[in-house]
Amino acid sequence: MAEQTEVVSKRPQMAVEIAGIKLKNPVMPASGTFGYGEEYAPYLDLNQLGAIVTKGLSLKPKAGNNTPRICETVSGMLNAIGLQNVGIDAFIADKMPFLQQIDAPVIVNFFGNTQEEYAEVAARLDDLPGVAGLEMNISCPNVKQGGIVFGTEARAAQDVVSLVRKRTDKPLIVKLSPNVTDIRVLARAVEDAGADAISLINTLTGMAVDVKTRKPRLANTIGGLSGPAIRPVAVRLVHQVVQAVKLPVIGIGGIARAIDALEFLIVGATAVQVGTANFVDPNAMQTVIDGLEEFCQNEGIADINELIGSLKQ
Amino acid sequence: MAEQTEVVSKRPQMAVEIAGIKLKNPVMPASGTFGYGEEYAPYLDLNQLGAIVTKGLSLKPKAGNNTPRICETVSGMLNAIGLQNVGIDAFIADKMPFLQQIDAPVIVNFFGNTQEEYAEVAARLDDLPGVAGLEMNISCPNVKQGGIVFGTEARAAQDVVSLVRKRTDKPLIVKLSPNVTDIRVLARAVEDAGADAISLINTLTGMAVDVKTRKPRLANTIGGLSGPAIRPVAVRLVHQVVQAVKLPVIGIGGIARAIDALEFLIVGATAVQVGTANFVDPNAMQTVIDGLEEFCQNEGIADINELIGSLKQ
Amino acid sequence: MKNHKTIILSNQEIAPGYYRMRILAPEYQQLATPGQFVMFRVQHTFLPLLRRPFGIFRVGFMPADCDAMPEKEFIEIIYKVVGSGTEIMQELHQGDRIELLGPLGRGFETGDPAEEKILVGGGIGLVPLYMLAEKLVQTSKVRLLMGGRTRDDIITVTEFERLGVETYVSTEDGSLGEQGLVTSVLEQKLAAQPKAAVFACGPMPMIDAVQKICAGYSTSLQVSLEALMACGVGACLGCVVKGAGHSDAEPRYLCSCKQGPVFRAEQLDWSRLEQQDSVCGGCD
Amino acid sequence: MKNHKTIILSNQEIAPGYYRMRILAPEYQQLATPGQFVMFRVQHTFLPLLRRPFGIFRVGFMPADCDAMPEKEFIEIIYKVVGSGTEIMQELHQGDRIELLGPLGRGFETGDPAEEKILVGGGIGLVPLYMLAEKLVQTSKVRLLMGGRTRDDIITVTEFERLGVETYVSTEDGSLGEQGLVTSVLEQKLAAQPKAAVFACGPMPMIDAVQKICAGYSTSLQVSLEALMACGVGACLGCVVKGAGHSDAEPRYLCSCKQGPVFRAEQLDWSRLEQQDSVCGGCD
Ligand SMILES: Cc1cc2nc3c(=O)[nH]c(=O)nc-3n(C[C@H](O)[C@H](O)[C@H](O)COP(=O)(O)OP(=O)(O)OC[C@H]3O[C@@H](n4cnc5c(N)ncnc54)[C@H](O)[C@@H]3O)c2cc1C
Ligand SMILES: Cc1cc2nc3c(=O)[nH]c(=O)nc-3n(C[C@H](O)[C@H](O)[C@H](O)COP(=O)(O)OP(=O)(O)OC[C@H]3O[C@@H](n4cnc5c(N)ncnc54)[C@H](O)[C@@H]3O)c2cc1C
Ligand SMILES: Cc1cc2nc3c(=O)[nH]c(=O)nc-3n(C[C@H](O)[C@H](O)[C@H](O)COP(=O)(O)O)c2cc1C
Ligand SMILES: Cc1cc2nc3c(=O)[nH]c(=O)nc-3n(C[C@H](O)[C@H](O)[C@H](O)COP(=O)(O)O)c2cc1C
Ligand code: FES
Ligand code: FES
């Protein structure tokens, strides 16, 4: 009994490390669902998060798509925001000062429409103080190669990641698209190109129709599906990538509760991102963090790292 | 007023035709969710259906996977039944006599582990009376080619469909897997190989973990995600295929209500299949059929074919 | 076998975490046999998506009352709150509309009236045994061996007693009846009277132990199994269990929903049944 | 700006399809300003997934009562049942636990007290105008022009009257007040008194017509817009509207949830705002 009491009362070690970035716990927001952090500051203690991940950033400000841009689906949502963002100059001037005050590593998500744009943003971020790491979103159409998406073609993915790798010494996380036949091929390509970690999944491509007007519900016709509905697909892809590469993996997709995050950790993700759930509950990440700690305590797990990759067959 | 009353009281024309098969209405079950029809006979008048689609059939009886084989997810379910079926001999002896009495076309879904097996089943079904058409499930691993899935590689898909085409004169519907980078490439490959129609989507590959036992929830680890959760992905893929090929398309994925079916018809599907929803409500297909008729009536649509492909941009 | 769109007549907590729900169910008096089950649709939305299977505890009717309400046929189910579906069920009220598919599956065979009948229930596994007891007491001596973790898991035993069933209660923590497992009670009874017929329902480890004991005395045994179910009607093949003589080369799967949930012990492959323990708690 | 886990105090149908819900809401009396809104979480599950935005109709408090219950600060919302979320909301009861994010957004600017104030409400668009009226009547003459399709869409007008607001009702079918559109009433009033300040909330075609009329008389106008929202706090960028001077080359998007929902007419690009009419009804 004495022993059990001890196990229960001792707080588990929750810190993890990914690509050299030290996180208090494995929970961070997914890019584009948490703005630049400050939007959620009234609801959540940002210092408690494993990290902060910012909205996708490009070299120039980006307008984004026409409205409607979002649409609810069964236990999920479609979005076609179109990567609207303030551009790197305004980011540095207006957003970084707030982020630099937060006691959590800041990971900047970025993208480009050409290889050069990707490389350029990475270079600009490379010597920016307060940036702990970069997350490179390769789910963007390559305007030079006729619109094929960087992240769906191994060769294109490898090339663009290699180029970025040359321009930054910051930890480089590459974020994969799930809309591919074999995710392992993509994962290996970005590993070979010098990525330090992989995050997945970005949204599943989807569409919805307003049957009264017979128009697509999104102005852009097609959008990205996110939320609890997609979680089983995300868990499967993370499972496959963990087995295919040596890099650490960040699991994303439909996480809203601690048991959701645990699925990803158990299949081998070192950390997780919470996306759409932030909209449903601005306190979702704190709930996930608390739940993970409680789970470890109840199961007698002293260090959350013991859980990572602990899947039994 | 007189005119409006007339429009409202006249019953819309609900029949559609797909690959030469005449359907009373565009609604049929999805393979594997309706057994061999007789399981649902106590709950539903089978004669009211557009068609009946049977559980995937192989040359020899197939054992299927270990249990657990199913698992509920958020607004969806995973299954790894493993294509358990009675095999073609027992199908002909035990299942066809019942099906032959039904006043609705019978479409037999089938598969093989090798090209030859596919061709063999097709040939056996070719001269079976009471079979209106064949639906060929190409989401199976090709045992000869090291397990790559026929339906994820255009070359393999084209080869196996070509071979089957030579062995049957029955209308041949090829059912596509959604787990590919570009569905249009696959759709064109099976069109070139001589398919008469395309149906999609089969299930999305997914996985779930029991965080207490740390085991996958399915004995097979990985399974197929179906149900309302996946509908936006299915609508998007059907939309893309309709634009890529000239063949008629059958839309499948998360359909439970008339408004769900309408999304698929509006993007261009000629007919739809209802899968997981049959488990939720054994009367789901009747509800969809009635709802489609009511919709046409309310919107003043005299013939449901007017709806097909009527998407506005 | 119908899908009734019907209403809840009452829904009450009868022990901590155990609820008894009465549902308007026309035709069940005529159709339902002991050991059958229903598929209960919890909500009209898609969360939870699948119906939940529950054994039929009892079929009955309320006589026409002074409010000039007509006679009402009903069934009762008893459920334990374990997950997302039953959590919602406990909040349902009289008058709430629900859907009920049933009665489904194959129930118990009553067998030779001369034989003594021993019912073995573990926790919520007691449920399908009540209707069976109602039938068996008409012709045979019936004993109920009821086990649970604590006294909170011992439900409706007095109702069995009212039928004239001799009941034996055991709990793992000794908080009610004898301390220990229900299987030790069975062992004693069979040592005295091996010519009984045993009917068991409960958690898989209990069922497994019961089978070993009955096999030792060559006592006839029927068990009611819980398998994960999507359709309940034999269409999805999600609920299969391995039948006697099953091998990977020559698989013999039995459908729990249609060929079961009650099986004669001889029908099953007991060497592999332990795996059934992996009845998964669902993802959400 | 807080996320309150709170309870419903009452929820009543006030006209066919219109409900008034009172929610325990500490701190709102101090924080909320006219024109702000809340994001209401309908269920604890993921169906519906997103929160629903509703204007704050009124902030108040119930005095401590004889049961020794403490003083309760509350807000009231008024909602029309239109889809999956509001269908569930109409079934909620006193005591049900819900979550409330708010108060959110930028509300109305009250402007010069000397000016006459004209509030234009279309159907449920009336809601955010009540708190505004409460404030404006303290210093200015206030008129309410209220329009709806039928008399069922004319709600809470007497409550405005009780504040001392002069009200004019028009319905499209003439079932209450004048027959016609609320905008023709506005036209008359402005012809007589163009120096008023107009505040409008309602369906997009109404807002659009109001803008044209006000522009004609150079009358100052503030409008409250409805946009699809996921987060309500400026993070998702789902709710944007096109600002004045917007072009594809130089886009000027404004966030409805943070920079709105109330905008001064000059802030917006009216040539493109018609598109906002495509507020999508959601997929389920
Ligand atoms: C034939 C049969 C009769 C049953 N009779 C009763 C009864 O009389 N009283 C009672 O309390 N329970 C009974 N059960 C078990 C009951 O079905 C589950 O407890 C219930 O489905 C749990 O639902 P949940 O949503 O609360 O749990 P969750 O864990 O959220 O359920 C998730 C999924 O797993 C399934 N599931 C979870 N536990 C079980 C289980 N033990 N057996 C089968 N499926 C499960 C659910 O149906 C659902 O599909 C019976 C099961 C079967 C197969
Ligand atoms: C700032 C603001 C204030 C509002 N105030 C009120 C109010 O006081 N009273 C009231 O009845 N309604 C108000 N609305 C509209 C209200 O939000 C919708 O009627 C409601 O969300 C519909 O939800 P549903 O689930 O019933 O409909 P569904 O059609 O099922 O909703 C599906 C999705 O579309 C969104 N949606 C549907 N209609 C609208 C709409 N008109 N505006 C914005 N989003 C919509 C929903 O939020 C949800 O995300 C307001 C909207 C906004 C943006
Ligand atoms: C509104 C919205 C905006 C998003 N913007 C971005 C983005 O800018 N960059 C990016 O890499 N991913 C973006 N995503 C994808 C998310 O980061 C995440 O990968 C995805 O939503 C799946 O996680 P979830 O199911 O938890 O939401 C966005 C998602 C949503 C819903
Ligand atoms: C339990 C189950 C068994 C299935 N078996 C088959 C099968 O044998 N052959 C096949 O082509 N598809 C099979 N499917 C896939 C369905 O036919 C359908 O494509 C998929 O479930 C998506 O539709 P839904 O969301 O309406 O269920 C099966 C699906 C389920 C859920
Ligand atoms: S539950 Fe579907 S076959 Fe038994
Ligand atoms: S609703 Fe998310 S930014 Fe406005």
Tell me how far apart the alpha carbons of residues B257 and D179 are, in angstroms, rounded to a whole number. 39
CA dist., res. A152 & res. A179, Å (int): 7
Least confident among B20-24, B43-47, D166-170, D192-196: D192-196
Where do the domains of chain A lie? Answer: 2-305
Residue D67 in this model has a pLDDT that exceeds 70:
no
Q: Which residue numbers of A are catalytic?
A: 140
Question: Which residues in chain B have their CB less than 8 angstroms from residue A229's CB?
Answer: 74-76, 228-230
d(CA D191, CA A112): 54
Distance, in Å, from the CA atom of B194 to the CA atom of B167, rounded to the nearest integer, reads: 12
* pLDDT category of residue A9 using cuts at 50, 70 and 90: low
**Confidence band (pLDDT; 50, 70, 90) for A3?**
very low
Cis-peptide, bond into residue C103, ω within 30° of zero = yes
User: Distance (Å, rounded) from C-alpha A165 to C-alpha A161?
Assistant: 6
pLDDT in tens, A253-306: 999 999 999 999 999 999 999 999 999 999 999 999 999 999 999 999 999 999
Minimum mean pLDDT range among A226-235, A264-273, D219-228, D272-281: D272-281
* CA-wise closest residue to B226 among B272, B264, B288, B276: B276
What sign results for the dihedral spanned by CA atoms B234, B236, B237, B238?
Answer: positive
Contact A313 B75 (CB under 8 A): no
B53 contacts in C (CB within 8 Å)?
Answer: none
Taking residues D9-16, report their average pLDDT.
95
Q: Is the pLDDT of residue D1 over 90?
A: no
For residue C7, the distance in angstroms to the closest alpha carbon of chain D comes to: 16
pLDDT in tens, B86-108: 999 999 999 999 999 999 999 99
* Average confidence (pLDDT) over C83-93: 94
- The minimum-distance atom of ligand 1 relative to the CA of C42 is 25
Task: Report how far residue D140's alpha carbon sits from residue D30's, in angstroms, rounded to the nearest whole number.
Answer: 23
- Asked whether the beta carbons of residue A76 and residue D251 sit closer than 8 angstroms, the reply is no
Pairwise CA distance, residues A74 & B232, whole Å: 9
pLDDT at D45 (0 to 100): 87
Tokens 């601690």, located at residue: A258
pLDDT at residue C278 greater than cutoff 50: no
pLDDT confidence of residue B90: 95
- For residues D194-220, give the mean pLDDT: 94
Give the pLDDT score at D226.
94
Calpha distance B245→B185 (Å, rounded): 10
Structure tokens at B268: 């261009």
Phi, psi of D55 (to 5 degrees): -65, 150
D114 or A71: which carries more pLDDT confidence?
Answer: A71
What confidence category does residue D235 fall into, taking pLDDT thresholds of 50, 70 and 90?
A: very high
Taking CA atoms only, the protein residue closest to ligand 4 atom 12 is B31
Would you kindly state where each structural domain of chain C is located, as residue ranges?
2-104, 105-224, 226-277
Distance from CA of B267 to the nearest CA of C (A): 24
Q: Over chain A, what is the mean pLDDT?
A: 94
Residue A7 pLDDT exceeds 60: no
Question: Is residue B71 flagged as an active site residue?
Answer: no
Q: Tell me the pairing of strands A197-200 and A249-252.
A: parallel
Q: Which residue of C has its CA nearest to D46?
A: C47
How does residue C277 score in pLDDT terms, banded at 50, 70 and 90?
very low
Whether D15 contacts chain A with CB within 8 A: no
CA pair distance B156, B167, nearest whole angstrom: 17
Q: DSSP letter at C49? A: -
Bridge-based pairing state of the strands B76-79 and B70-73: antiparallel
Tokens of D115: 């000016």
Q: How many CB pairs under 8 A join B and C?
A: 127
The span from the CA of C130 to the CA of B116, in Å, is 54
For residue C179, CA distances in Å to A187, B110, C167, C182 come to 57, 56, 15, 9
- The CATH number corresponding to A2-305 among 3.40.50.1820, 3.40.710.10, 3.20.20.70, 3.30.750.24 equals 3.20.20.70
Q: Residue D269 gets which letter from DSSP?
A: -
B182: confidence class by pLDDT, cuts 50, 70, 90: very high
- Does residue C283 surpass a pLDDT of 70? no
Answer whether B253 touches A (CB < 8 Å).
no
Q: Please, what's the largest Cα pairwise distance for chain B?
A: 68
Ligand 1 neighbour C53 (Cβ under 6 A): yes
- C-alpha atoms less than 13 angstroms from C-alpha of C105 in its C-beta half-sphere: 32
Residue B219 is given by DSSP the state T
Cα torsion through A29, A32, A34, A35, rounded to 10: 140
CB atoms within 10 A of CB C133: 23
The least confident of A66-70, A138-142, B54-58 is: A138-142
Q: How confident is the model at residue C67 (pLDDT cuts 50, 70, 90)?
A: low
Contact D46 B75 (CB under 8 A): yes
Q: What's the CATH fold of domain D2-104?
A: Elongation Factor Tu (Ef-tu); domain 3 (2.40.30)
Strands C142-148 and C166-171, sheet pairing: parallel
Interface probe for A, chosen from B70, B152, B214, B217 (most Cβ of A below 10 Å), is B214
Q: What is the mean pLDDT of residues C219-248?
A: 94
Cα separation, A216 vs A210, in Å, equals 6
Mean pLDDT, rounded, of chain D: 91
Which of B45, B215, B280, B286 would best serve as a mutation to test chain C binding (most C beta carbons within 10 A)?
B280
Q: Which chains touch A (3 or more CB pairs under 8 A)?
A: B, C, D
First to last CA, chain B: 32
Taking alpha carbons only, the member of C206, C227, C284, C269 closest to residue B68 is: C227
Long-range contacts of C166-169 (CB under 8 A, 24+ apart): C166/C141, C166/C142, C167/C143, C168/C143, C168/C144
The pLDDT tens digits for B139-176 are 877 777 777 889 999 999 999 999 999 999 999 999 99
Distance CA C280, CA B69 (A): 10
- In the predicted model, what is the mean pLDDT of residues C20-36? 95
Q: How far is CA B310 from CA A210, B263, B305, D284, in A?
A: 12, 10, 9, 21
Residue A67's identity, in one-letter code, is T
Does position A217 have pLDDT exceeding 70, yes or no?
A: yes
Task: From the options 3.60.40.10, 2.60.40.790, 2.10.240.10, 3.50.50.60, give the CATH code of D226-277.
Answer: 2.10.240.10
C109-140 per-position pLDDT tens digit: 998 998 999 999 999 999 999 999 999 999 99
Q: Give the β-pairing of B16-18 and A271-274.
A: unpaired
Tell me if C215 sits within 8 A of C268, measured CB to CB.
no
- At residue B304, the pLDDT reads 98
pLDDT-derived band at A145, boundaries 50, 70, 90: confident
What are the DSSP calls for B133-199, one per residue?
A: EEEEE--SB-TTTTT-BGGG-HHHHHHHHHHHHHH--S-EEEEPPS-SS-HHHHHHHHHHTT-SEEE
Question: pLDDT-based confidence at C71, cuts 50/70/90?
Answer: confident
Distance from residue B80's CA to the centre of ligand 5 (Å): 13
Closest CA of chain D from C47, distance in Å: 7
A89 has a pLDDT exceeding 80? yes
Segment D150-174 mean pLDDT: 94
Best residue in D5, D226, D236 for a mutation probing chain A (most A CBs within 10 Å): D236
B256 lines ligand 4 (CB under 6 A): no
CB atoms within 10 A of CB A208: 26
pLDDT band with cut points at 50, 70 and 90 for residue C274: low
- Going by pLDDT thresholds of 50, 70 and 90, the confidence category of residue D273 is low
Nearest-CA residue for ligand 1 atom 37 is C281
Ligand 4 centre from D245 Cα, in Å? 51
- Minimal CA–CA distance to C104: which of C219, C261, C277, C280? C261
SS3 call for D138: coil
Q: For A41, phi and psi rounded to 5 degrees?
A: -55, -35
Per-residue pLDDT averaged across C42-56, rounded?
94
pLDDT at position C275: 54
A186: phi then psi, degrees, rounded to nearest 5: -65, -45
B3 pLDDT more than 60? no
Answer yes or no: is pLDDT of C284 > 60: no
For chain A, the DSSP string reads -HHHHHHHHSPPB--EEETTEEESSSEEEPTTSSTTSGGGTTTS-GGGSS-EEPPPB-SS-B--PPSP-EEEETTEEEE-----B-HHHHIIIIIHHHHHTSSS-EEEEE--SSHHHHHHHHHHHHT-TT--EEEEE--SB-TTTTT-BGGG-HHHHHHHHHHHHHH--S-EEEEPPS-SS-HHHHHHHHHHTT-SEEEE--PEEEE-EETTTTEESSTTSEEEEESGGGHHHHHHHHHHHHHH-SS-EEEESS--SHHHHHHHHHHT-SEEEE-THHHH-TTHHHHHHHHHHHHHHHHT-SBGGGTTT----
Residue whose token pair is 């599907």 = B269
What pLDDT, in 10s, does the model give residues B70-86? 999 999 999 999 999 99
Determine the Cα–Cα distance for residues B32 and B39; give it in Å rounded to an integer: 12
Supply the pLDDT for residue D284.
38
Asked if residues D240 and D214 have their Cβ atoms less than 8 Å apart, the reply is: no
Distance CA D119, CA D167 (A): 9
If 0-12 CB within 10 Å is exposed, 13-18 middle and 19+ buried, where does residue A162 land? middle
Distance between CA atoms of residues C150 and C128, nearest Å: 20
pLDDT above 80 for C264: yes
Phi, psi (degrees; rounded to nearest 5) at B160: -70, -35
Q: Which chains touch C (3 or more CB pairs under 8 A)?
A: A, B, D
Span from the CA of B92 to the centroid of ligand 1 (angstroms): 36
Ligand closest to D52 (CA) is 2
When the pLDDT of each residue in chain B is averaged and rounded to a whole number, the result is 94
Q: Which residues, in sequence order, are bridge partners of residue B222?
A: B207
pLDDT value of position C256: 97
Q: Give me the CATH code for the D105-224 domain, please.
A: 3.40.50.80
Quick check: A214 and B75 CB within 8 A? Answer: no
Under an 8 Å CB criterion, which residues of A touch D? Answer: 32-35, 39-40, 42-43, 55, 63-64, 66-79, 81, 84, 208, 210, 212, 215, 217, 219, 227-229, 256, 276, 278-283
Q: What percent of chain A has pLDDT over 90?
A: 91
